[in-house]
Amino acid sequence: MRIGIAGTGRMGSAIARRLASQGHEVRVWNRTPARAQPLLQEGLAWAATPRALAQASEVVVSMLTDGAALDEVYSGDDGLFTHRGGGTLFIDMSTVPPATQREMARRAAEAGVAYLECPVGGSVGPAQEGKLLAFVGGAPQDVARARPLLDQLCRRVEHVGPHGAGATMKLAVNLPLMVYWQTLGEALSLVQPLELDPQRVIDILADSSGGPNMLKVRGATIAQALAGAAAGAVTVDVATMRKDVAAMLDEARAHGRRLPLTAETLASFERAARRGLDPADCTQLPVWWLAEGGFLLPGSGT
């Protein structure tokens, strides 16, 4: 199959490599061409514009930063939606608010093209191994068409409703994880006076009833960060986490719901961002919390 990848950041590149490994003819485009160079050196093809990408592809998968990027890449002068022939199927895997996906679906209908939202759970490793978790929103006939491809990328594909439903499910799935990063820092602050080896502490927490799968999978990396080891490749940065948590709160307010723990988590992440952590990997959050985030602010009482 001829597949186009729009957006070659960490996840987009991992998805491109996975699909190429499955025998597909993969072509890529990115707003910053230099970020696609490693893929081109591996033999993947390049498209000069999003429109050219759509013209050369049976399916286009996009993985973009936010709603503004979606607007530019899909609806710009040479955007993906300017190619309206050939029956190309567009699948967006970005994590954006549900309202954004509903608007994208409206534009797709105006353009007369098939469009699915399919945000995914999982990071670079699962993407390269075809073990993502997909939350699909869109028309059943388009989901059926996309499923063989999604099955090569994902260990589980869930069609959860119309456009916007996938984004809602992705926010719900991510919410406990976002809050857990905050609670992990707080838990570590309790045992910090014991001066135990970080690897031992993380191993104990991961083996307990309070240890989620994330801690079991990423525990070694977290322990290294706590021990002061240099950070490796960034998997999920703090800026992305703040964006997603803000979207969770916006969606809750739209339905008249309160998320008090989530609101406090965002406030903490924003404090970390003001200390320069936005580009840092998520594993640096508990490190920051132990160093300064968990101490009482003078005169604040909080």
Whether 299 shows a pLDDT value over 60: the answer reads: no
- Whether 226 has a pLDDT exceeding 80, the answer reads yes
Residue 301 has pLDDT above 60, yes or no: no
CA distances from 212 to 152, 177, 219, 281 (A): 26, 9, 10, 19
d(CA 257, CA 290): 31
Angle between helical axes of 140-153 and 10-21 (0-180°, round to 10): 80
Annotated catalytic residue 170: yes
Query: What is the distance between the alpha carbons of residues 255 and 192, in angstroms, rounded to a whole number?
Result: 40
Residues 6+ apart with CB under 8 A from 180: 212, 214, 215
pLDDT single digits (tens) 94-153: 999 999 999 999 999 999 999 999 999 988 889 999 999 999 999 999 999 999 999 999
* Residue spans per domain, the chain: 2-163, 168-293
Fold for 2-163, please state it: Rossmann fold (3.40.50)
- For residue 297, what pLDDT is reported? 56
pTM listed for this prediction: 0.88
Among 131, 170, 216, 243, which one carries the catalytic annotation? 170
At 39-64, the pLDDT tens digits run: 999 999 999 999 999 999 999 999 99
The CATH superfamily of 168-293 is: N-(1-d-carboxylethyl)-l-norvaline Dehydrogenase; domain 2 (1.10.1040.10)
